[in-house]
Structure 1
Amino acid sequence: MGAQKRINCGVIVVAAGRGERAGSHPDGPKQYRRIAGRPVISHTLEAFVKWDPACRIVAVIHRDDRDLFDTALDHLEGGRDRILAVTGGRTRQQSVLAGLEALSSLDVDHVLIQDAVRPFVDTVLLDRIAATLASGECAVLPAVAVADTLKRSDSAGHVLETVPRTGLFAAQTPQAFHFATIRDAHRRAAEDGRDDFTDDAAIAEWAGVPVRLVEGSAANVKLTLQKDLIMADERLSAPLPDVRTGNGYDVHQLEPGDGVTLCGVFIPHDQRLKGHSDADVALHALTDALLATCGAGDIGDHFPPSDPQWKGAASRIFIEHAAKIVRARGGTIMNADVSLIAEAPKIGPHRDEMRRRLSEFLGIALERCSVKATTNETIGFVGRREGIAAIATATVVYRGQPS
């Protein structure tokens, strides 16, 4: 449970239905159909397992579904020991009562009653419900305001009237209650032979219990039809782009000389950059940025300045090596951006050539290469023309989904 006040609660997940509207399927009823490789009910159970490590969960299942339910539990990462399975009844109302009776011996103060086929319930919604219960409400109903225009029709399918939608809401689950209050209301309904309630909030209303509305979640949909299951599978299975951004920074001291090399372009100048290699501060920063996208260390790990073989080496060796590492790990370089900070020489006349070199070194389109320059307004070591600094950013997309 999040930062909300903790409540002593149990959870009932209603999963005894046959789900005829979703059609027949080898996996069984819709609560056991697979979305993203796992049964729907396992997604639903896991939401509560992760939300509150202290809550006890009762799953109400059909008498014929024990093997299917056990398989669904195999997909949980943890919390299986907190889940009790009981057999449901002929109607949803009877199944909920069976769950409430099972919770009676577990000493809970509140209960959340959830449809097994609402796998997208989230922590934010659960925390909102729990906070409302903690404030003293006996019954809490998450709901979303009706947005569509509503029509009432006759038996032949002709519109009789437009129904005002003001004050109308679509009910969701989990519906939450003071435990003894809803259990006793269910018992009374069963004794009176009332089995026509469509949800637990309706039973609370019948019993005279005030029901408090709280904001529901548009994502918390109920999977009813085959198309709902297909959309849910697509929603959970759609690969997330594994986009990574690396940042690099480098600085080299200036000393008397005949020119500097930046982004692989030699620019005549009355100073040169001091370094073990050609001291191309731009390519050094970009090398670090590329290596950062796959956790491959920095330029010093691959090309130690203490190694004499790199003395005076062209820095294109370093940047091409970094690009090779990125590609070997499944990366596609999408963009390279270099910002040079220098009082002199002027970068503008050489910017296009620098971009062409970056495109060549990295094997990407010219439009994906950016070179910018600014001065340091005569402030600091750059302003005193003692050195040149570079900041580089690389964007890389890797194969597979982020872990």
Structure 2
Amino acid sequence: MNIAVIFAGGTGKRMNTKSKPKQFLEMHGKPVLIYTLENFQNHPLIDHIILVCLETWIDYAAGLMKKFGITKVAKIVPGGKTGQESIYHGIATAEKLYGDDNVVLIHDGVRPLINEETITNCIRTVKQYGNAITVSPAIETIFLKNEENDFVGQIFNRSRCEMAKAPQCFVLGDIYKAHLRAIEEGNCDFIDSASLMQHYGMKLYTVDGPSENIKITTPSDFYIFRAIMDAKENLQILGL
């Protein structure tokens, strides 16, 4: 069984919106979150979806599921105080409903440009090799910031660097047990599930994903998303 845990618990402070969190902002009459969910709803290998949502927006999200026909969402659960806690809520719910021996794909609700091929490759990689994360090549130079002053620290060879994206995909029992261990030990500041898993000695494979699989965090990200969607729509009209 393949389960998607979609994290839509952010408040969107960097988006500078006062009325709605970023995942509920609309583009062409459809919320960003729905664009994301449709990729998993329409994928033949995805069996169920667990949606993690801001508690005060759960009823609103449930209404969207009905309006847009997102039938694979088995449960909408409230997020936590941190991203790590919110993801744990989703994983724990999936584990309770379906058990350890399944594939879980953890994805951001504000990454609507994920595609079917990447989702398929994530599932295949976990089943063939083990836990993995989606990546794309680094296209700019990356260096470590010097903590003592404003000088540039270590510069990395860009050809060996990749950008971690989503989905991050795991054997459900593995990621669930890692979260339980982190809670028991009071380790609550991991930036994502990949760093948590690596901390506890788990080997992570990589899945190549599309470069346009951006996370919509700022207004400029939203405009990029709209431009890409408009370009795809224009190509369909032209029959290309």
Q: State TM-score, norm by structure 1.
A: 0.55
Alpha-carbon distance in 2 for matches of 1:161, 1:181: 33
Whether the aligned pair in 2 keeps the contact of 1:15 and 1:31 (CA below 8 Å) is yes
The aligned residue for residue 240 of structure 1 is 234
CA distance in 2, matches of 1:175, 1:152: 24
Take 1:87 and 1:38, find their aligned partners in 2: how far apart are those partners? 22
| Equivalent of residue 98 in structure 1, options 62, 74, 89 | 89
Identify the structure with bigger relative contact order (alpha carbons < 8 Å, sequence gap 6+).
2
1:72 Cα deviation after fit: 2.9
Letter in 1 for 2:75: L
Residue type of the alignment partner of 1:176: C
| 1:203-352 map, 5 Å | 203-238=196-231, 239-240=233-234, 242-243=237-238
The equivalences for 1:56-135 within 5 A come to: 56-76=48-68, 78-80=69-71, 82-108=73-99, 109-135=102-128
Partner of 1:30 in structure 2?
22
CA drift at 1:67? 3.5
Counting matched residue pairs gives 235
**Contact 1:73/1:80 (CA < 8 Å) preserved in 2?**
yes
Q: How far apart are residue 81 of structure 1 and its match? A: 5.3
Query: Pairwise CA RMSD of aligned residues?
Result: 2.1
Q: CA deviation at 1:154?
A: 4.1
Please list the CA deviations of residues 10-56 of structure 1 after superposition, one character each: whole Å capped at 9, or x if unmatched: 11001111121111242x11111112221111111111010136511
Q: 2:8 is matched with which residue?
A: 15
Letter in 1 for 2:48: R
SS for the counterpart of 1:172 is strand
Provide the rounded CA distance (Å) in 2 between the counterparts of 1:101 and 1:23: 32
More deviation, 229-238/209-218: 229-238
Give the direction of change, closer, same or farther, for the CA distance of 1:113–1:81 in structure 2 (3 Å limit): closer
Mapped to 2, the partners of 1:240 and 1:147 lie a distance apart of 27
Q: Deviations over 1:258-307 (max 9, x none)?
A: xxxxxxxxxxxxxxxxxxxxxxxxxxxxxxxxxxxxxxxxxxxxxxxxxx
Distance 1:81 1:214 in 2: 24
Residue 33 of structure 2 aligns to which amino acid in structure 1? I
Partner of 1:175: 168
1:41 aligned partner? 33
CA distance in 1, matches of 2:82, 2:223: 26
Unaligned runs of 5+ residues in structure 2 are none
* Matching residue within 194, 219, 227 for 2:187: 194
Change (3 A) 1:30 1:54: closer
Q: Which residue of 2 aligns with 1:282?
A: none
- Once residues 164 and 214 of structure 2 are traced to their aligned partners in structure 1, the CA distance between those partners, rounded to angstroms, is 10
Q: Specify the code of the residue in structure 2 equivalent to 1:197.
A: F
Structure 1 152/184 Cα, relative in aligned 2: closer, same or farther at 3 Å?
closer
8 Å CA contact 1:175, 1:201 repeated in 2: yes
Work out whether residues 125 and 132 of structure 2, in 8 Å CA contact, stay in contact via their aligned partners in 1: yes
Equivalent residue letter for 2:223:
I
TM-aligned CA deviation for residue 80 of structure 1: 2.3
Q: Is the 8 A contact 2:48 2:72 kept in 1?
A: no
Worse overlay, 47-56 or 232-241: 232-241
Distance 1:67 1:232 in 2: 26
Q: Distance in 1 between matches of 2:35 and 2:24?
A: 10
The structure where helix makes up a greater share of residues is 2
Residue 170 of structure 2 aligns to a residue in which SS? Answer: strand
Pairwise CA distance, 1:198: 1.0
* Percent of paired sites with the same residue: 26
Tell me, in whole angstroms, the C-alpha distance in 2 between the residues paired with 1:147 and 1:165.
7
Kindly report which structure 2 residues correspond to 1:122-161, keeping only aligned pairs within 5 A, or say none.
122-135=115-128, 137-154=129-146, 157-161=150-154
AA aligned opposite 2:71: R
